[in-house]
Amino acid sequence: MPKQPFVISEYVRWGDIDLAGIICYGAYIRFYELAETEIFRACGLPFREMFERYDIWMPRKVMHTEFYTPAHLDDHLRVVTYFSHIGRTSLTINFDVMGAVGEPLHAAAYQVLVCVSRSTFAKTVLPAKVAAALERYCMDSSTAREGGTGKDSPIRASSRT
């Protein structure tokens, strides 16, 4: 069975747009945060529990986004989320934001998260159980986009309305 990305569904809200009626670039951070929280939860790693159990934090070292097509107020978007790299002390999480039914790609992003000790903030090894839990969503972008762009792709978490 081929791997599938994790997908959430969310709407562009009033607070996400600018005076031109299109999404502000900073609003994409909200979409990424929702998707990141839910992909970890789907892997059995709700943040509070994971951070306490393994005594780690996972701050961002890199945040990179490319913008393609603007989204508008009330557009229904899908955030296709997956890991492109799970390393010894860090991981790369990717987000592809597109229309809800396979419409154009609005933005593509990746973030590098580094595993650090909660007490010292020194870089530390990513716990093996965390890496293993995330592996089910580790894939390249073409695999993720094939699995997360079609209108028949499963939505694993839905927006709060």
Per-residue tokens: 6:
């994790």
User: From residue 161, how far is each of 13, 65, 74, 104 by CA, in Å?
Assistant: 10, 26, 12, 23
Give the pLDDT of the chain (161 residues) as one tens digit per residue. 678 999 999 999 999 999 999 999 999 999 999 999 999 999 999 999 999 999 999 999 999 999 999 999 999 999 999 999 999 999 999 999 999 776 789 999 999 999 999 999 999 999 999 999 999 999 999 889 887 654 444 333 333 33
In the chain, domain spans: 6-148
User: From residue 89, how far is each of 4, 21, 57, 123, 127 by CA, in Å?
Assistant: 24, 41, 11, 7, 9
Q: Do 97 and 88 touch, CB atoms closer than 8 A?
A: no
pLDDT of residue 148: 60
**Span 36-57, pLDDT tens digits:** 999 999 999 999 999 999 999 9
Domain 6-148, what fold?
Thiol Ester Dehydrase; Chain A (3.10.129)
